[in-house]
Amino acid sequence: MSILVAPKALEGHSVREFQMLIDGQWVGGESQRSLERVAPGHGVIVSRYAQASAGDTERAILAARKAFDDGPWPRMTAAERSNVLLKAASLIESRLEEIAFLDAVEAGKPITQVRGEINGAVDIWRYAAALARDLHGESYNTLGEGTLGVVLREAIGVVSIITPWNFPFLIVAQKLPFALAAGCTCVVKPSELTSGSTLLLGEILIEAGVPAGVVNILVGTGAEVGSVMTTHPAVDMVSFTGSTGVGRLTMANAAQTLKKVSLELGGKNPQIVFPDANLDEFIDAAAFGAWFNAGECCNAGSRLILHKSIATDVVARIAKLSAGVRVGDPLDPLTQIGAIITPEHLQKIETYVSSAATGGARVAHGGAAVNFGAGQFMGPVILDGVTQDMAVAREEVFGPVLSVLTFETAEEAIRIANAVDYGLSAGVWSRDFDTCLTVGRKVRAGTIWMNTFMDGASELPFGGYKQSGQGRELGRHAVEDYTETKTLNMHIGPRTGWWMPR
Ligand code: NDP
């Protein structure tokens, strides 16, 4: 088992009330309904959000449309937009503790981890501010004496941004500042489970100088609000992060009006380990990759593909390390694994574990939920002897569950790594860089880590192959993703006529 840290009661905390942001105004919504969030680590209500209806969503989209078609934001200089984004980054920094507390209680994440995520988000806002000033097109002065070609990058228009619950503040930072940098206007829908920090971001953006209607934030269900955001004809692009199933639906919805779609979806990410790897480094990275964010992470290293000769030793060492991992109170600064997002999700994770055990996998560590009397928790689970036909080897569990498979040759390892529908990320471990590069180039995934896992930087593009998504976030092209390309084909001097009377 792991070290258990029972959550302390949330003393002195009152339920935080939020409204929605439409056209620069905080409003209650036409139906006056609300949604309540029960903290997954504490079992008490911590937030109450005004719930948007389809009508509120329509108003938000039309406000964004007007702000794009007639408002100042797309017409400002890039330097002016960049300055607003920089101010937003500094304001986020100054409210870091408030944002971190909200994400920790609403998502059940460890507070120390959330602080890191928010600092990461600040860096992304600053990176987007820098990219804003470098957004430019191309010119062609090589098309002949009579022709000059100029290729413009124009903001694509109104963008619907839909985000999940597992990294509420970080994921919106991977989208919104880049859309704003390009000059777009947006309607944002965070997950109804963890909307608080995105609503705080709305306050920050107003203070930073984002004009009314440029960023609208709605809390509501995917079925009611998300479906309007992905089908409305006034929306030009949808940027979605979430499950592969809803991503597929989003694409089908957007296809009705042929919107541009960017999708960041699920993963079943392998870590391939050769016998010559630095196993001390790997053991730590394996635990981090699998237990970070309680495994509720698209990038989780949820499949170990170990060379047969080292498998028994590696599993025993990861189990030993996991016994010292601290599970429990999200607000304890030493906690490493916090709460599971909902009771239903915990049940889903338990079903994966029990059906793997029934199917012949050996539970090498953990396996049962942790009961603190309130909230829902699960410590690390290691499943050894997993085979490709088991659901835990192919499907995204989204919990602290590590599946161990083995290989004998590099070709076999690559085959196993590629034998799933996902292709988000992968790790390769060997002291021989030939091995790392040969294997890394053959694994079909958007990010390959070599002798490390889940590192990242604002400069490095992120996204998936296959059913892990479409498009890339971050990196130097991130702002371009929110643009249209326009060609100006200019003629100089007399034209050569198409029909010249002879
Ligand atoms: P979901 O797909 O269930 O939800 C994601 C968002 O989509 C939520 O805001 C949800 O709203 C909304 N939504 C639900 N139904 C619709 C609909 N019909 N139309 C439009 N929007 C809709 O994912 P989860 O929130 O459960 O997040 C977990 C998933 O996200 C995992 O599969 C994970 O892999 C993936 N993910 C991918 C990342 C990546 O970058 N590749 C990063 C992080 C997570 P609501 O839930 O409020 O109803």
pLDDT in tens, 11-28: 778 899 999 999 999 999
Q: Is any ligand 1 atom within 6 A of the Cβ of residue 225?
A: no
pLDDT in tens, 274-304: 999 999 999 999 999 999 999 999 999 999 9
Catalytic residue among 117, 192, 264, 473: 264
- Report CA(339)–ligand 1 centroid distance (Å): 18
∠ Cα 253 256 258 (to 5°): 100
- Pocket test of ligand 1: the residue of 20, 109, 160, 166 to mutate, having most ligand atoms within 8 Å of its CB, is 166
Please tell me the predicted confidence (pLDDT) of residue 259.
Answer: 98
Residue 27 pLDDT:
98
Domain borders along the chain are: 12-265, 270-450
| Neighbouring residues of 25: CB distance < 8 A, sequence distance ≥ 6 | 212
Helices then strands, counting H and E runs in the chain, come out as 15, 27
- For 121, the token pair is 């988000």
- Has 186 been annotated as catalytic? no
pLDDT exceeding 70 applies to what percent of the chain?
99
Kindly give the distance from the C-alpha atom of residue 5 to the centroid of ligand 1, in angstroms, as a whole number: 29
Could you tell me the CATH superfamily of domain 270-450?
Aldehyde Dehydrogenase; Chain A, domain 2 (3.40.309.10)
3-class secondary structure per residue, 436-477: HHHHHHHCCCCEEEECCCCCCCCCCCECCEECCEECCECCCC
pTM given for the model: 0.97
* Average pLDDT of every residue of the chain: 97
DSSP E strand stretches across 366-451: 369-370, 377-378, 381-384, 401-407, 422-423, 425-429, 447-450
Instruction: Name the pLDDT band for 501 (thresholds 50, 70, 90).
Output: low
Sign of the Cα pseudo-torsion (201, 56, 13, 337, in order): negative
- The domain 12-265 having CATH identifier 3.40.605.10: the answer here is yes
Give distance in angstroms: CA of 220 to centre of ligand 1: 13
298 in catalytic set:
yes
